Amino acid sequence: MERNEQQKKQPKKRSAAGRIALATALVFFALFLVLGGWLYSIYLEGKSNLNNTVRETPEPDEPDISPSEMVEVSPDDLGVDESLPSDWNNILLLGSDSRSGKSYGRSDATIIASVNTKTGEVKLTSLMRDIWLEIPRKGKGKLNAALAYGGPTLAMKTVNETFGMNITSYIFVDFVGFPYIIDQIGGVSLDIEKKELRYLNETIGDLNKKNYPKGTDFSPLEEYGEDTKLTGIQALAYARIRHADSDFERTQRQRNVLMAIFKKVKSQGVSLNLAGSAAAILPSVETNMSLSELLKISGKIIASDLDTLKELRIPIDGSYKSGTYNGTYSIRPDFEENTAALHEFIYGE
């Protein structure tokens, strides 16, 4: 697993059994991530041979960030709020489809996964990528730029200092493995609206089929309604729908797919053979969490009651303004109100 040079920890050599255990643990967390625009890279023949991701054309107001603009943040300087309750482990889940080598693109998905270390209860908080905030050492900008400017460490520091959080762990994913994973578990079932059917199939038609392995099923979805079964590509297209409504609804679709995958995996039992899927995912998953941490938390999640999973979107309704400011679209939240809402959601404070 490749680590960013900004991260001071160096990968340790693991036994074959250790690598399999790590891969399986990472799969559970990878399956726990959203399927958004960041699921747009290349899975080639040979499960561990993944090439560089495909970079979509940046929006006019979001030019590429040059190496000279990047900053290095120490893992010991994450702006952690030490006063928060220790029963909840907060992990930052990051997804991007524009990573190349050791550099990161803007994050298309940023989610705080909060896991209760005693009960296994899980809460998910989606942070809108267009939130306009203070990026430490860079100044004002969108939340999604923090990853590109300074990798996961700057992303964690930005979220911590903006919302009074204590995040020190992250999982970053950059790959097209989710369609493959979904097909491996037999597809997923989702409630599909009539208007979504059109945009879902348009998205499938826009995919560059050369970027996917031979034999990938690009069949359009032919029906809609409750409990509609989707293939991996169809689920990917569903999660990427944006023009049907807005990015707010898209984050909800991402969470819908996340839950559908997780429930499907759990329904098949912990004996499900995830090794093959892990081989496809592992090269494109980066985390600063140890094997023991991953196994401990994934075990808690597996044993938890998924019906109790709760979710939140920040900013909450009625707490923000949005529009084009100085030529750039952004979301301007009331940070005091949203910080309070986030803490109330996770900690009940």
Amino acid at 129: R
Domain ranges of the chain: 16-183+272-347
Give the CA count within 13 Å in the CB-facing half-sphere of 137. Answer: 18
In angstroms and rounded to an integer, the radius of gyration of the C-alpha atoms of the chain is: 19
Task: Give the pLDDT confidence of 50-61 residue by residue, as tens digits.
Answer: 232 222 333 444
Q: State pTM to two decimals.
A: 0.70
Helix pair 247-267, 232-240: axis angle to 10 deg: 150
Q: Give the bridge partners for 243, in sequence order.
A: none
Question: Do the beta carbons of residue 156 and residue 76 sit within 8 Å?
Answer: no
Beta 122-127 vs 310-314: how paired, if at all?
A: parallel
Distance CA 177, CA 41 (A): 8
pLDDT for 282:
57
Task: Give the pLDDT confidence of 259-284 residue by residue, as tens digits.
Answer: 787 777 666 654 444 555 555 555 55
CB atoms within 10 A of CB 228: 19
In CATH terms, the fold of domain 16-183+272-347 is Aminopeptidase (3.40.630)
Task: Give the pLDDT confidence of 8-17 residue by residue, as tens digits.
Answer: 443 344 454 4
- Ranking 1-5, 35-39, 148-152, 264-268 by mean pLDDT, the lowest is 35-39
Question: Do the beta carbons of residue 176 and residue 281 sit within 8 Å?
Answer: no
Question: Do the beta carbons of residue 336 and residue 319 sit within 8 Å?
Answer: no
